[in-house]
Structures are given as C-alpha cells and as structure tokens.
Amino acid sequence: MNFLHPEFLYLLFIIPVLIAFNLFFKGKRTLPVTTLFIWEKFHEECKSSNISFNRLLKEIPLLLQIMFVIMSAIMLSEPTFLDADKEPDREVFIIDSSIYMNAGTEGNRYIDMAKERAIQLLQDDHRTSRVMIIEAVSNAEIVHSYSRDTNQLVDAVRGISSTDTISNLDQAITMAFSLGEIPSRIVVFTCKLPDKVSRHSDEMDIIEWVSVGDFLDNNVFISDLDIRQDFSINRNYQTFLRVSNDSDLNQNFKIQVYNEDKLYEVRNVAMSPHETKGLLFSHGQIMEGLIRIKIEVNDDLAADNEAFILLEPERKLSILMVTAGNRFLENALTLHGSVDIDLCESSNSEEKIKTGNYDVVIYDNVAIASDISADTIIICSKANEYTNTEKGMISPELLTFNYGHKSLNGLDLSNLSIDKSYILNVPEWGEALIESEYGALMFCGERDNKKLLVTGYDLMQSNFPLEIAFPLFISRVVNWFNGNEHQNWISAGEAYHYTMPTTYTEDSVTVTMPDGEQHINRIKNNSVAITDTMKAGVYRIEGDTFQKRFVVNFQTNTDSHNNVFTKNIIQKTVPVIPESVSTKLGFLFAVLALVALVAEWYFYSRT
C-alpha cells in the first residue's frame, strides 16, 4: 500500500494522546440512582461473572475513537494499492515549450494541446506512478519533481507557457535519465522530433513520443541573421538574412523592414520548396535604432518570421599588433572596420604599450610584455603562464569546438587543421574554444576586467587564415573585445549581461519585457544579468538616469524544421497506464469513519 499524502499519517500520533487522556484525564461516567441497595443485590454476581466483558464494553468509546483516528489518517493520506511485487513506476513527462509549440491558432496552440494531453494522462484514475515534469526549452528545466499528487502535477503543467527559444529535447531527455533511478517511461509531448537523442537504443524503448498539433509542413522562417558595416566610406550597416522555405510549396511573400516601427523597405521574395535563400539588406543612412525584419507569409509558425536588430554607433577599437608580420590577421582585423591598428616589433613593444593607450594588444608569435595592462591576444607565445611548453609542440587531432561561445557560434570549422601547437593550461576563469586529444589549443576568458584570448598554435601553422570562418572569427573576437558581442542582441533563452556605466549609482534597474511586463533586477558587481529572455522582441533596461535596449531573437541554428513526426512515428500512441491495481479507498474509509462516529454517539454519547 502506498499513500498519496503520507504526511497525514502523522495524525496517528493522536492515538497515544487519546489513550493517555482516557487513562488520566477523562472523567468517569456516573449514573445517579435513587438507591443502591437493589443494585447491590446482584452486584457481586455480575462483577464476578462479567468482569472482562464489562471492561471491554467500557473501553468501546476509546476503541471507536482510535478507529476513527486511524480511518481519518488513512482517508486523508489517500492509500493506493499496487501489485505486491511491483514498485511504483517513475515517469517523466517532457513538455516541449519551444517556439515551434507556438504554432496553431490562438487558444489552441500546440503547447495548449500538449498540456491538455499531459493533464489527461496525469488525471488517469489508474495512474499509480510518480511523475516528474520537465519543460524542454533551450535549457531544460524541472517544473515539478517526482510526485504522485495529481493536483500539484496538473498545476505544474498548467504553469508552463510557450517561449521563443529552440527546443532542446535531447538535453531534457538526458536530464530525465540522469535524475535518480532510470524512469520506467518518458513521455515527450512535442510537435517535432529532435535531431538526435544521445541515448542507447535500449534506453530509447522507454521514450514515447506524443505528437501534438498538425505537422509543421508549411513554414517559412528566418534561419540566420547577421549585421555588419560595409566597406563604403560611410561604413553603412547591412543585414544578411537567410530565409528557409520548409515546405513542399512554392512560396511568394514580402519581407518588410522597419526602423523604429517606420516601414522603409519591402522586398518580394519567391522561394521554391525547401529552398534556403540569402538576402542582403542595406540600411543606408540609418546608423542607429531598432531594425525589425518581418516575413509576411501565412505559414504554420508565425513566431520565427520576425527578427530584430539594434544599431548603435560603434566605438573604434585601438589595437597594437606586436608581430614580425601577419598579413592574414592584419587583413581580417581591417575588414572589421571598427579598429585602428598599429604594428610594431617586439623590441619596442613595451614602450609603445605604455605610451599608446591601446585597447587590445596582440602578441603574435613573440614574447609577451611582463605586465599586461590591456585586453590581450596571445598567439603561440611560449613565454607565458598559459602555454605548456613541457611537451613541446605537438601535432594535435582536433576534437571539439566550442560553438556555444559567441566567437565560434555558427562558424564551420570542420575543415580546420593545425600542424603544430602548444597545449594550453586553461585557467579557472578561462573557457576552452578548441580542444585536442591532449588539451586545449585555444581559450578565452576575462580576469580583473581584462579580456584574454590565447592560441597555442601559430596561425601560419594551420589552415585557419584560409578558411572563410577566419575573418568572421576575428570579427567576433573584436566585437567581444569591444564589448559589443552581447551588447544588444541575444538569442531567446540566453542570459543577457550588461556592465552598468560607472555613473549609474542605483542598485537596481527595471527590465521591461516585450509584452510590457516589468521586473526589477539587482545590480551585482556593477553588472546586471537578465535571464528571463524566453520571448523574442525588444527588452528595455531602465533606471533613473539610464536607459538601454537589447533585442532577443529566436535562435536559428542547425535545428532543422524537417524533423517533424512522420505519419508512421506518431501512430505510436501512449498506452493507457498501468495494469496494476490502483484504487483510492478514501471514500470508503470516510464512510467507515462516519459509521464509527455514529456508533459511538449511539452507544455512548447519547446516554
């Protein structure tokens, strides 16, 4: 027997109190009579013949009270009976609340269907299992831990709302497997299958996919977005937009571009089925403000048809390259356009650094200065604390690239090869970007407000400068040094960090969400972190003397929209749960407790 509310079993502690009360405090029941001598005629006879029976009869009220307490405790704790040899099942319900679940009509979105279906399963009278609820967003979250309390679980499901993040079902499934014992079943409520599930095939057997809504077979979406300045004298901004047609239909639609809600460009686009098309939008004289790009198409999912860009006047970055000569790097830096580059030999670098007031110093294959006073890039320098020179230079086999980092996000480094490299000692505050079988070959990090990027290999000892990704990488690194990398654009679900101006003295700011909802965020270490960025749109950070905007976009990535359920897969319906005997006996115990009380009243209290 198991109990849905075992805490009510503490009521049983009333029993010793009842017994003590009955023994020590309860008054004796005395019946007045006019005379005793008639009773005494047979008193001795009764006393000797019925003493034990009389004692039992006298204790009946106490027995009834104890029975009432036991029944009440059992009733409130809601017992359920399982097969004797069967432990209660553990189940995990994973509800996809990613942007794809926004599809559908208002009030009948996929997320609503998923929640409704999950609630139906939770409210199944035959369910005896303990259920955990996980919300699958960009970072999976446990909404409710294992519980058998249907009401709490249903409330938890009802509290889930759709977001504008990508789904990360793989992470959610991994979480389901890793928390405690392996569950007996994992039910995933989603409208699309993930690219991959990092589990063994035997573990996959316990995963049941519940399809909700129709298939996303008619969707046009913005799959990539980038903004940069062109090479004109005015260095105008231009936006690169990648649009995908994830349907079997030819699509003709308009793309509208707004600046601060003012429409200034409309472009007609025609796309063939499953075509991906790159589009370039030049913003001309518009050098700052909010740019909103919207695809006017009637498809299954509206949330991914819109993107936001925030243009801000760019600060020039002053860079000193201490190098014997590196044209690839020099050109890549120059391409960015927001940098002023000085070159020098290592011999006079220290004096230059002292007098030049540079933002960034790049040590390219030279020894570094003893005192690092600016943001620094160290390329293949063996005379520093981060380079492990004991093993010398090795020929590494590249294992992983940290695409999650802003500098590598979206880049293709699959063809990168490095001939020789030092292995790096990544400090605690550092984050490895490229790792080999022997250790990190590139890392970056920030300490004491100084940013540092270290590579263990000479760029000339690799094919990186020849890759298309190289100038993009350098551009992003420059943005990172320039403080622009997170300044006004993040993907939904990511945390937004902003370092407050030193002139701002308050200890909190007000953050206004795209839907108008406001939160107060505390400032810690002169920085504010905004983590609730599940919805795409424009966010405002405001204080008494300060205002800042940033935009959140639906994160387009390699997560294809093609992984919707096929007709065959979704036919695998969720079986009706448990064959085990499961009966709530609360009602029965309630009736019995009532009968016990009435009996006590009838036989005892009424006299």
Partner 1 sequence: MSDLITDAALFERLKQFSFVPGRHVSSSGGNMKKRTRGTGGEFSDYRNYGIGDEIKYIDWNIYARSNKLFSKVFHDEGNVDVHLLLDVSKSMDFGNDNKLRYAKNIIMMLAYVGITNNHNVQFSAFADKSFMTMSLGHKINIFGNFLEELEDIHPQGETKLNQSIMNYLHEQKPSGLLFVVSDFLDEEGYEQGLTHLAHSPLHACCVQVLCEEENDPKPGFTDHLQDIESNRLIDFNLTSAICQKYIKAFKQHIEQFKILCLLQNILYLNLNTAFPIDQFIVNLVQQGICKRK
List the alpha helices (DSSP H) in 289-397: 327-336, 349-356
In sequence order, what are the residues at sequence separation of 6 or more whose Cβ sits closer than 8 angstroms to the Cβ of residue 505? none
Q: How far is the CB of 50 from partner 1 (least distance, A)?
A: 7
Q: How far is the CB of 72 from partner 1 (least distance, A)?
A: 23
Smaller CB separation from partner 1, 504 or 604: 604
Query: Which runs of E-coded beta strand occur in 495-536?
Result: 496-499, 508-512, 518-522, 527-530
Smaller CB separation from partner 1, 54 or 331: 54
Long-range CB contact pairs, 63-67, < 8 A, 24+:
64/596, 64/597, 64/599, 64/600, 64/604, 65/18, 65/600, 66/15, 66/18, 66/19, 67/593, 67/596
Smaller CB separation from partner 1, 44 or 125: 44
Report the half-sphere exposure of 277 (CA within 13 A, side-chain side): 18
Smaller CB separation from partner 1, 30 or 201: 30
> 273 with 513: CB under 8 angstroms?
no
> Positive or negative CA dihedral for 18, 19, 20, 22?
positive
Q: How far is the CB of 20 from partner 1 (least distance, A)?
A: 18
Smaller CB separation from partner 1, 240 or 603: 603
Smaller CB separation from partner 1, 61 or 439: 61
Smaller CB separation from partner 1, 22 or 318: 22
Smaller CB separation from partner 1, 43 or 572: 43
Q: How far is the CB of 160 from partner 1 (least distance, A)?
A: 58
Q: Which of 27, 160, 189 is nearest to 565 (CA)?
A: 189
Q: How far is the CB of 39 from partner 1 (least distance, A)?
A: 6
Report the half-sphere exposure of 132 (CA within 13 A, side-chain side): 25
Q: Which of 230, 253, 231, 226 is nearest to 242 (CA)?
A: 226
Smaller CB separation from partner 1, 60 or 495: 60
Q: H or E element: which one contains 276?
A: strand 276-282
According to DSSP, the β-strands at 317-323 and 339-344 are parallel
Q: How far is the CB of 45 from partner 1 (least distance, A)?
A: 8
For tokens 């320039």, what's the residue? 482
Q: How far is the CB of 32 from partner 1 (least distance, A)?
A: 5
Q: H or E element: which one contains 472?
A: helix 469-482
DSSP conformational letter for 605? I
Q: How far is the CB of 19 from partner 1 (least distance, A)?
A: 17
In sequence order, what are the residues at sequence separation of 6 or more whose Cβ sits closer than 8 angstroms to the Cβ of residue 64? 596, 597, 599, 600, 604
Smaller CB separation from partner 1, 231 or 602: 602
Q: How far is the CB of 597 from partner 1 (least distance, A)?
A: 15
Q: How far is the CB of 69 from partner 1 (least distance, A)?
A: 19
For 552-589, give one letter per residue: b (16+ CB within 10 A) or e. bbbbbeebebebbbeeeebeeeeeebbebebeeebeeb
Q: Which of 494, 466, 475 is nearest to 553 (CA)?
A: 494
- Site of interaction with partner 1 (CB under 8 A): 28-43, 46-47, 50, 54, 57-58, 60-61, 603-604, 606-607
Smaller CB separation from partner 1, 58 or 391: 58
Q: How far is the CB of 594 from partner 1 (least distance, A)?
A: 20
DSSP conformational letter for 223? E
Q: 530 forms bridges with which residues in the sheet?
A: 496
